[in-house]
A and B are shown apart, each in its own frame.
Chain A
């Protein structure tokens, strides 16, 4: 109960006059308390540093890890008799044969034919026609250009393969996800249970479950589809469930009162009314599926991930860049197509569209016929079946390669010293001045644990404390405390930098349309390009180090945060800004006193997503010398006997994610609830 509420209504003076001090008194303790906790922590650190840090060597395991490994071994040993495995292998067979059939139709030679049943010309024509039919001629052009770029850049087959795998995974996601979405939309209990599972599916690093998935579903296309499915399912379930839940209760009531059955309500009211939101979910699921492309290639999943990894094997930036770029092209194409298709469907519904219907049908029939002719041509003539060779891909690769070399050669003499300064200042500290990492990881575990718990209590109250304690306990029992604290450090530092970027660019984009137009595609690319593409240049600039991992996390997380902030600031009503201008506020005052405070819920959401995205890149950190949990996961993925440690590391990452999520949410809920992500700033998670 606040003091404000106790005041008799309308009693005299303007409320701000006497409320403000009261609120200030209430607020100051929150951050002052936090500072006090940190100061106390530093003092304790000074006397206890280096003791009880629970450090575990790079190749050391504990019983917990060995138990996990032997559990995996047990499953592996029982695979011939295990009924679950029998079931999953038959499911896998369906995926495998579907992919195989589609490949023979569209992308690989259907022996003894030297080419697929339908050549590039036919495939492109049909794809363009579909684009035209569902989204209009602009999209048809975009689709045509994208498909042509697959061939021109020399990755026709891999691109189509990636589309096939994505298509099947998304199809399966819809089949499984829509009933789940309906379920969580209609039952609060189901919602709470399912969302924990979804949290797990989204934050558990793929490398941890990739090998078990292969155990159950086999190598190649089937394992790739399933791994992709696991990662891509949550956005659809979450967003579609949210959409169905938020259908106007008045409408539900009104139609209920007409005596509809439950099924009629679902089919005729809830699903149609949530359609736009469901499409956003579908869109997110497609993007998530694409971000798994490279990972799936580790188990022979077909698609563009393969050439990306080929490039990585020979440290050839250019060679990895071109297929990486095509993944971005596919992502942008599918994103724009699904969005445009849903907008168009809505517009047609709105405008009635009956007058144009006849003309449209004729146009579609005409172009459809044309597409069929092209399909036929691509079946009989070689030039239309096999994409003509082109040097463009290789020259683009060498351009990218030399650009990257030029940049790294010219900048590394600045970047490396910068990395050193930064690392010492922020992470390492010195003997008598702690860095963030030394504070978190070099304090005794119970000191760090207690400090984190108290900080959670201070910023988020009891609602934050409970999950924090549970997560910390989990991390403790998984025996990777020290590594977890290092990962936490990098995540926090990365997020602070992400938010700085998000504030600067978000506000800038919100205030200037031109900036927005230029920056947005770059952000799309940053979010969808596989990290494996930019790993090498970043390594060249910063060497194998924690800082490199932080940079990779920023590249991945900043786009989402920037978009969220930009959309939030843009969402501030023009009238409010006008009102502030009319009082003679400067631009700076307008930003700091009106736009940012009013976009607060977006800032909170951006921070929350930033934390989780940076954390999602922990595994990439493991690949670039940052060690900690990311390295443990990669280790578990690489060496069979270390799987248990990898699993424990993955679980620790999940716990860190849940902890950070709950603390930020509780901190925000104290004053206002964070908004659901808006349409333009979609939720995206790390593909690792």
Chain B
């Protein structure tokens, strides 16, 4: 009984105290609500929601959040960032769940399924985003410095034994990458008669960690890597020269004996959205920036540990001219 009574008194006390507290705090929520309402009216509803796929790497995040921030700030859009793998993003075009993939490294199979012509036409190519992907074989900087000749593929066999690990079965180990990337390394090793075995790291995290440890501990490591990549600003890996890429040298896949071509990274968007006439369509269409731009934002995120939103906002603030050029 006493406990109950005490509870009651406690509650009464709390009611009094908190109502008082509430009274002084209430304004800010109401005020902000009104402000938001006003903002929504001002935007005039021209811009609908923008569904931006966010594929899981930092460079992509940089592009996606910069475009999203501009869409929010300048066009009043509501941007929904959706953390998705590439496959899933493409699947979402048809259902309206995804409008934009801002950085595509080349998915012939998905293009076949979703582009007009061979597929259901739910997706379309929206042109390059200005970034250029450089894929290739890389070694940690200490190795390039100590053994400069290692940067020529012809010399790799000389060092094969140094690259051997418990995983490579007596041959040199070549660290293959995250399976998301198109890789021909098994064929290249074979066709260039290299005494190496491809061991797949299986994830970007594993590749990065391996290169980081190799640099730190001065270990031999060679593997598949790419730019633009935030990690390059932490450990600037050196690219090994393979026989240069020539048109057609990647066909058929089992005969590849050349370097990877430079990849022009593209924007892929939902056809339906592209035809909707939403102001954000033009923004995405116009969006184009350099590897350096992307690396800057990626560094904010990965090195300076800023949130994606803050990093993008910072860059947008620092680069008003570039942003202006994208606006419809």
Contact = CB atoms under 8 A, between A and B. Distances in A.
Direct contact of A and B (CB under 8 A): yes
Interface residues of A: mostly helix, strand, loop or mixed? helix
Interface stretch (B83-91, B144-152, B314-322): B83-91
Contact of A366 (B8, B169, B199): B8
Contacts of A359: 1, 3-4
Nearest to A419: B166
A482 interface: no
Interface stretch (B127-135, B171-179, B269-277): B171-179
A473 interface: no
A440 B3 CA distance: 69
A323 interface: no
B325 interface: no
Nearest to A361: B4
Contacts of B21: 377, 381, 384
Interface in B59-100: 61, 82-88, 90-92, 94-95, 97-98
B302 interface: yes
Interface string A605-647: 0000000000000000111111100110011011111100000
Contacts of A113: 29, 32-33, 36
B282 interface: no
A412 B219 CA distance: 12
B43 interface: no
B285 interface: no
A189 to B, nearest CB: 38
Contacts of A385: 29
A637 B85 contact: yes
A373 interface: yes
A634 B166 contact: no
A223 B301 CA distance: 28
A316 B230 CA distance: 13
Nearest to B40: A112
Interface string A363-396: 1011101100110110111111100000000100
B4 A362 contact: yes
A313 B57 contact: yes
Contacts of B210: 539, 543-544, 625
Interface in A530-589: 535-536, 539-540, 543-547
Contacts of B302: 313-314, 316
B237 to A, nearest CB: 14
Interface string A405-449: 000110011000001100110011000000000000000000000
A536 B205 contact: yes
Interface residues on A, range: 35 or more
Nearest to A538: B209
B247 interface: no
Given A623-B206, A631-B179, A220 B199 contact: no
Contacts of B47: none
A297 B82 CA distance: 10
A627 B56 CA distance: 21
A622 B4 contact: no
B202 A624 contact: yes
Contact of B28 (A58, A382, A394): A382
A412 B36 contact: no
Interface residues on B, range: 35 or more
A540 B18 contact: no
Contacts of A382: 25, 28-29
Given A58-B186, A634-B202, A114 B29 contact: yes
A73 interface: yes
A641 B109 contact: yes
A219 interface: yes
Contacts of A545: 165-167
Contact of B209 (A80, A367, A540): A540
B87 A219 contact: no
B290 interface: no
B324 interface: no
A455 interface: no
B50 interface: no
A536 B19 CA distance: 49
A215 interface: yes
Contact of B97 (A73, A219, A536): A219
A625 B201 CA distance: 4
A41 interface: no
Interface stretch (A272-280, A298-306, A513-521): A298-306
B11 A373 contact: yes
B251 interface: no
Contacts of A214: 88, 91
A218 B95 contact: yes
Given A298-B85, A539-B210, A624-B203, A58 B4 contact: no
* Highest count of chain B CB atoms <10 Å: which of A362, A363, A382, A543: A543
A592 interface: no
A259 interface: no
A420 B165 CA distance: 8
Contacts of B22: 376-377, 380-381, 384
B125 interface: no
Contacts of B28: 381-382
B91 A539 contact: no
A244 B194 CA distance: 63
A423 B166 contact: yes
Contacts of A77: 113, 120
Interface string B203-233: 1111111101100110000000000001100
Nearest to A119: B29
Given A423-B167, A638-B178, A366 B29 contact: no
A679 B94 CA distance: 47
B206 A539 contact: yes
B109 A639 contact: yes
Nearest to B51: A219
Contacts of A547: 166
A319 interface: yes
23 contacts: A57-B186, A58-B183, A59-B186, A220-B82, A220-B97, A299-B88, A300-B88, A314-B230, A359-B4, A377-B22, A381-B21, A420-B165, A540-B213, A544-B206, A546-B167, A625-B199, A625-B210, A626-B202, A637-B87, A638-B85, A638-B179, A640-B90, A641-B108
Q: Which 8 A-B residue pairings sit nearest by Cβ, starting from the closest?
A: A381-B25, A362-B4, A366-B7, A112-B36, A423-B166, A641-B109, A314-B302, A635-B179
Given A79-B94, A624-B206, 7 more contacts: A112-B37, A218-B95, A298-B88, A362-B5, A635-B179, A639-B180, A640-B107
Interface of A: 57-59, 73, 76-77, 79-80, 89, 111-115, 211, 214-215, 218-220, 297-300, 306, 309, 312-316, 319, 358-359, 362-363, 365-367, 369-370, 373-374, 376-377, 379-385, 394, 408-409, 412-413, 419-420, 423-424, 427-428, 535-536, 539-540, 543-547, 621-627, 630-631, 634-635, 637-642
